[in-house]
């Protein structure tokens, strides 16, 4: 039992504020994780600076070690940056709502047009797909095939008229949408392998002709370090309201999401995750943060440790522990229950400093044992729990009968309680146990 308590205590210790050393050590790891996720270097620098700023002066958590605490802050900042302005499509007051797609060739614009149309149909909209990519011979056919699969009408230039004018097609499509009662128009545009002026000018001309309600910048999540330049070029050349990340089904860790968000401050609205029409979802910042950070185990552990060591519980308990005298059988029971709550995460506890012993203990704790202890304590009067010294022979017999246990169980429990309290007094008197640091005062 004393081992078990030792572990609980070390979970409760307080070290004041997070130190620069704690923060720097973890920040180095985060930096590597972000670079590995292909977040652009200047973005990594700015992000780390922001995290350090927030972590500095933060009170040390009682549930987490400093490294975990910094990781937690990093995760929260990531989610906040990625999702700060998450929003859905803004529909026009007077239909049709015009959505224009822009991005490099191969980014996934045409595929996305089909997906977006499918998604809108499911929401009872009546979209119209517009083929304004007349650069490549196959582009129109590709959109028509997608439209057919999605069961959505496609507006395209008449075949056989030579190369049409994408600006005129876009302009005409709006008129057509009005006549045919389409409430959303999705305009697919041409891209180039690299950024070039002609492509930008064409996109800007289409934009000026149809004045879209939403311009979505479609970008391949695998773009990596180039994300910064490409996003900046599109932001300057055409401007956009939101971002769609594609090919998230690949192994890219998606650092581009953070880079683009940081550079353009535009919300990431949708995520594309495959070649099928329904491989598509609204963007989930928390999932993306986890993917970029790639510290799933640690994040899970942090969540569970925090849930278990409810901050208030811990603070109250820490106050009690500081002066063994106030420690009652009620606290004793509460503490054991806290240990029991850790049960399912026992195997993860080894990752937390000073928790190894607790993990070993947990595998030894018998649930029936705990239930018996709980039953005994609950069969006591409040006075007995507050001051167990008054528990004499006749009280012991009454408690045993009330809890369905033996008199020996009751005396055993009371003895263990006094041992634990003695240990606590020793600790508060001097120095604490080895390796425990000071107790909270």
**Cβ distance 31 to 51 under 8 Å?**
no
Give ∠ CA 82-87-89 in degrees, rounded to 5.
Answer: 135
User: Which two tokens mark 367?
Assistant: 């649930």
Closest CB 39 distance from Mg ion, rounded Å? 27
Q: Which stretch binds Mg ion (CB under 5 A): 4-12, 40-48, 108-116, 263-271?
A: 108-116
Closest CB 109 distance from Mg ion, rounded Å? 5
How many residues of this chain bind Mg ion (CB under 5 A)? 2
Longest alpha-carbon distance in the chain = 105
Residue 360 interaction partner, one of ligand GDP, Mg ion, none, beta carbon < 5-8 Å per kind: none
Summarize the annotated binding site as residue ranges. 103-110, 188-192, 246-249
**Cβ distance 224 to 37 under 8 Å?**
no
**Cβ distance 384 to 391 under 8 Å?**
yes
Residue 103 interaction partner, one of Mg ion, ligand GDP, none, beta carbon < 5-8 Å per kind: ligand GDP
Nearer to ligand GDP, 71 or 245 (CB): 245
Closest CB 39 distance from ligand GDP, rounded Å? 20
Closest CB 106 distance from ligand GDP, rounded Å? 5
Nearer to ligand GDP, 142 or 304 (CB): 142
How far apart are the C-alpha atoms of 344 and 367, rounded to whole Å?
A: 12
Give ∠ CA 384-387-388 in degrees, rounded to 5.
Answer: 65
Residue 72 interaction partner, one of Mg ion, ligand GDP, none, beta carbon < 5-8 Å per kind: none
Nearer to ligand GDP, 27 or 216 (CB): 216
Q: Which residues bind ligand GDP (CB under 6 A)?
A: 103, 105-111, 191, 246-247, 249, 272-275, 279
Q: Which stretch binds Mg ion (CB under 5 A): 81-89, 96-104, 109-117, 268-276?
A: 109-117
Closest CB 109 distance from ligand GDP, rounded Å? 3
Closest CB 170 distance from ligand GDP, rounded Å? 16
Q: Which stretch binds Mg ion (CB under 5 A): 50-58, 61-69, 101-109, 159-167?
A: 101-109
Closest CB 277 distance from ligand GDP, rounded Å? 11
Nearer to Mg ion, 110 or 264 (CB): 110
Nearer to ligand GDP, 58 or 279 (CB): 279
Give me the residue whose beta carbon is nearest to Mg ion: 110
Q: Does 110 bind Mg ion (CB under 5 A)?
A: yes
Residue 308 interaction partner, one of Mg ion, ligand GDP, none, beta carbon < 5-8 Å per kind: none
Closest CB 207 distance from Mg ion, rounded Å? 17
Closest CB 113 distance from Mg ion, rounded Å? 8
A 10 A CB-CB count for 368 gives: 8
Nearer to ligand GDP, 117 or 301 (CB): 117
Nearer to ligand GDP, 106 or 353 (CB): 106
Residue 207 interaction partner, one of Mg ion, ligand GDP, none, beta carbon < 5-8 Å per kind: none
Nearer to Mg ion, 240 or 417 (CB): 240
Residue 438 interaction partner, one of Mg ion, ligand GDP, none, beta carbon < 5-8 Å per kind: none
Residue 274 interaction partner, one of Mg ion, ligand GDP, none, beta carbon < 5-8 Å per kind: ligand GDP
Is residue 58 packed enough to be buried (19+ CB in 10 Å), middle (13-18) or exposed (0-12)? middle
Summarize the annotated binding site for GTP as residue ranges. 103-110, 188-192, 246-249
Nearer to ligand GDP, 274 or 440 (CB): 274
Residues forming a β-bridge with 189: 132
Q: Which stretch binds Mg ion (CB under 5 A): 24-32, 102-110, 312-320, 377-385?
A: 102-110
Give the 3-state DSSP-derived string for the chain, with helices as H, strands as E and coil as C: CHHHHHHHHHHHCCCCECCHHHHHHHHHHHHHHHHHCCCCHHHHHHHHHHHHHHHCCCECCCCCCHHHHHHHHHHHHHHHHHHCCCCCCCCCCCCCEEEEEECCCCCCHHHHHHHHHHHHHHCCCCEEEEEECCCCHHHHHHHHHHHHHHCCEEECCCCCCCCCCHHHHHHHHHHHHHHCCCCEEEEEECCCCCCCHHHHHHHHHHHHHHCCCEEEEEEEHHHHHHHHHHHHHHHHHCCCCEEEEECCCCCCCCHHHHHHHHHHCCCEEEEECCCCCCCEEECCHHHHHHHHHCCHHHHHHHHHHHHHCCHHHHHHHHHHHHCHHHCCHHHHHHHHHHHHHCHHHHHHHCCCCCCHHHHHHHHHCCHHHHHHHHHHHHCCCHHHHHCHHHCCHHHHHHHHHHHCCCHHHHHHHHHHHHHHHHHHHHHHHCCCCCCCCCCCC
Residue 246 interaction partner, one of Mg ion, ligand GDP, none, beta carbon < 5-8 Å per kind: ligand GDP
Residue 108 interaction partner, one of Mg ion, ligand GDP, none, beta carbon < 5-8 Å per kind: ligand GDP
Binding site for Mg ion (CB under 5 A): 109-110
């Amino acid at each position: 039992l004393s081992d078990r308590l030792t572990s609980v205590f070390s979970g409760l210790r307080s070290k004041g504020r997070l130190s620069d050393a704690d923060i720097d050590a973890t920040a180095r790891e985060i930096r590597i994780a972000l670079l590995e996720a292909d977040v652009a270097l200047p973005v990594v620098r700015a992000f780390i600076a922001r995290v350090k700023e927030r972590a500095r002066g933060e009170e040390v958590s009682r549930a987490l070690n400093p490294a975990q605490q910094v990781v937690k802050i990093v995760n929260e900042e990531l989610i906040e940056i990625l999702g700060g302005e998450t929003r859905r499509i803004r529909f026009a007051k007077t239909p049709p709502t015009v959505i224009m797609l822009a991005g490099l060739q191969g980014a996934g614009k045409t595929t996305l047009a089909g997906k977006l149309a499918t998604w809108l149909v499911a929401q009872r909209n009546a979209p119209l797909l517009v083929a304004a990519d007349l650069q490549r011979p196959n582009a129109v056919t590709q959109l028509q095939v997608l439209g057919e699969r999605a069961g959505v009408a496609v507006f395209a230039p008449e075949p056989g008229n030579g190369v049409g004018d994408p600006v005129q097609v876009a302009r005409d499509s709006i008129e057509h949408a009005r006549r045919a009662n389409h409430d959303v128009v999705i305009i697919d545009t041409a891209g180039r392998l690299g950024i070039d002026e002609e492509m930008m000018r064409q996109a800007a001309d289409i934009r000026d002709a149809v004045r879209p309600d939403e311009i979505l910048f479609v970008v391949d999540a695998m773009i990596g370090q180039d994300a910064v330049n490409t996003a900046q070029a599109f932001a300057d050349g055409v401007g956009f309201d939101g971002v769609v990340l594609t090919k998230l089904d690949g192994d890219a860790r998606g650092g581009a999401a953070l880079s683009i968000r940081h550079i353009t401050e535009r919300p990431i609205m949708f995520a594309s995750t495959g070649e099928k029409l329904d491989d598509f979802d609204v963007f989930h910042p928390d999932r993306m943060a986890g993917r970029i950070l790639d510290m799933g185990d640690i994040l899970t552990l942090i969540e569970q440790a925090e849930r278990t060591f409810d901050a208030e519980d811990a603070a109250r308990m820490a106050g009690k522990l500081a002066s063994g005298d106030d420690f009652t059988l009620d606290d004793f029971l509460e503490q054991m229950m806290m240990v029991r709550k850790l049960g399912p995460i026992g195997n993860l506890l080894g990752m937390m400093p000073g928790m190894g012993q607790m993990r070993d203990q947990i595998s030894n704790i018998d649930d029936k044992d705990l239930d018996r202890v709980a039953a005994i304590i609950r069969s006591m009067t409040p006075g007995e729990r507050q001051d167990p010294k008054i528990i004499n022979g006749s009280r012991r017999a009454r408690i045993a009968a009330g809890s369905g246990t033996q008199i020996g169980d009751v005396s055993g429990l009371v003895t263990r309680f006094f041992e634990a309290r003695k240990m606590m007094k020793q600790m508060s008197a001097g120095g604490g146990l080895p390796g425990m640091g000071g107790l909270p005062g």
